[in-house]
Structure 1
C-alpha cells in the first residue's frame, strides 16, 4: 500500500510538471506536503533530486510533517488561500469532502 501511494504521487507529479513547459521559461517551484513513514521521505527526496537534475528550472520543496498532523496542516494551508501545497500526501480524503 505504501509503494502504491508513492507511485500515485509520482504519477501526479509527472502529470503536473509538463503543464509548466508551455509557460514562460521562469523558474518553477513546486511544493509537496508529505508525511514520513519509515524511510519513504529519504527515498522521495532522492527521487526529487534526480527529477530536478533532469529538469533544470524546476525545483521541488518537500515539506515533511508528522503523520498525526498532516490533515490539520493541510486544511489550515488550504483555508489560508495562499499557502496550499501543489501536491499533498494524505491518507484520508473523506475529511476534505464538503459536508452535506
Structure 2
C-alpha cells in the first residue's frame, strides 16, 4: 500500500521568531494548493524544468529552493528580514511595488 501524498510547509513562527518546517497530508491542504496553483501557476524545481521532467535536482537547486522559501517569509516578516545574510544575484527590494499609472 502506498503512503498518502504529503506537502511540506515552511512558515515563520512569530512567537518563537523561528522558521519552521512541517509535513502534512496533502488532502488536508489540497484546496489551498489548488487555489494558489490556479492563481500563480506555482514554480517548478528546477525552475527551468519542463512539466513531466525527470531532470536531476542538484545541490544548487536545493540551495535556491531553501533561499526562495526563506525570502518569501522575510517578505512579510520584517523582524526575520533583518536577520538574513543571504547573497542574491540582485539586491532585494522589500518595498511593495506600485501599480502602473495610466
* TM-score, normalised with respect to structure 2: 0.26
* TM-score, normalised with respect to structure 1: 0.26
Which of structures 1 and 2 has the bigger CA Rg? 2
Higher relative contact order (CA 8 A, sep 6+): 1
